[in-house]
Amino acid sequence: MFVSAMLKGAWQRAVTTATQAAHTMVDSLLKPVEDESEAVPRFHLSRAEHEFLNDMLQCSTSPTRQLYAAAVLRLRERFNCEDLKDRLRELKGPERLEGWQRLYGMVWARLWSLIVTCSILRIITEVQASILAASMYRQPAGARSLQDMTAHLAAMYTHVLDEGLVPISDITSAALASHTSAVSVTQRQRHEDTTAAVTTMVAALAADDTITQLCECIVSTLQSVEASSSPSSPSSSSSSSSSSSSSVPDDGSPVEFVVRPTIDVVTSSLFAKCLGAVLSDAAATVTHDLTLATDHDREVVVVNTVPSVAALSLTSDVMARTHAAAPIHTLCTVVFRSLLAQRA
């Protein structure tokens, strides 16, 4: 059973050591090296460990998709592109042109806010599944513990969406603003221009300053979750007393047990690299979809891309087809292996 000391000093050391060793592994996934066998450290798992971790990660798939759907609905309300488009019909002249320019920026902000939010949720849910896997490995009460923890985590993810989605979308919108406002919606552009625009947007989102702001936002949200779920918090007293999980420390709530190490992972540079990798992969999917949507016309007016971008932001389909699983799985393996080592 984990104890609070492990979740503090020992865990901090494990994260630091594993993060330093794993950097070249993630780098190789983003940019292959000449001699990968020498440059990439291996975090070997036994067959039983590998299967157990994969089972836990599979368990996170369904709730992650539910979170995607919730993010779509909330961002549709926050960026009501359809309402703005309807109102543009009543405008004429410069006001109409200005409205289209604003709509162009809004659809991109909604799409990338969705992708950034879902990328963060995907990484966090899988990292936390890895933390649970390490805590329950070889535990006879693992199934019961998982059921107890799942209920707590479901409430936590709702809190993350409630508290984190708005600041995440604000950070995303600010990073994109100069790139979308610089595009004239009356000019014809080639597919190459659209590809270049997507590449530029991803570069802005993956910039160190933007990633730092996003990580700080996530940490702040997780700390808020931890505070609201602590045993001393009135809102959590009933839920804390009802949990009898043998894998949860006696001096902390179930959510705290998972949130503390998650915050450590988020503040590591390895998390930032994983987030950048997922965003880059999503960009390739977006570019592919937009190319197909405008394939009938090799040169299109920019405003004609608005419906296509808006449609992409109304579904989590882009994230479902984003295949940046390798960096995330690497991070999860590092977390799982490091925690098991601390228990040995």
Q: Looking at residue 2, what DSSP letter applies? A: -
The residue with greater pLDDT, 242 or 120, is: 120
The closest of 40, 243, 267 to 155, measured between CA atoms, is: 243
- At residue 117's C-alpha, the angle toward residues 282 and 312, to 5°, is 50
Lowest mean pLDDT among 45-54, 101-110, 305-314: 45-54
Choose the most confident range, by mean pLDDT, from 45-59, 220-234, 247-261: 45-59
Position 188 pLDDT exceeds 80 = yes
Q: For all residues of the chain together, what is the average pLDDT?
A: 78
Q: Residue 69 is encoded by which pair of tokens?
A: 């759907």
What's the whole-number mean pLDDT along residues 36-50? 63
Phi, psi torsion values for 282, nearest 5 degrees: -65, -35
Widest CA span of the chain, in angstroms? 71
Q: What is the rounded distance in angstroms from the CA atom of residue 187 to the CA atom of residue 40?
A: 47
What's the whole-number mean pLDDT along residues 185-194? 85
Q: Looking at residue 173, what DSSP letter applies? A: H
pLDDT of residue 343: 64
Q: What is the rounded distance in angstroms from the CA atom of residue 131 to the CA atom of residue 125?
A: 10
Choose the most confident range, by mean pLDDT, from 2-11, 280-289, 316-325: 280-289
At a CB cut-off of 8 Å and minimum separation 6, what does 229 contact?
152, 156, 235, 236, 239, 240, 253, 254, 255, 256, 259
pLDDT in tens, 269-304: 888 888 988 898 899 899 888 888 776 666 778 888
pLDDT in tens, 202-232: 999 999 999 999 999 999 999 988 777 665 5
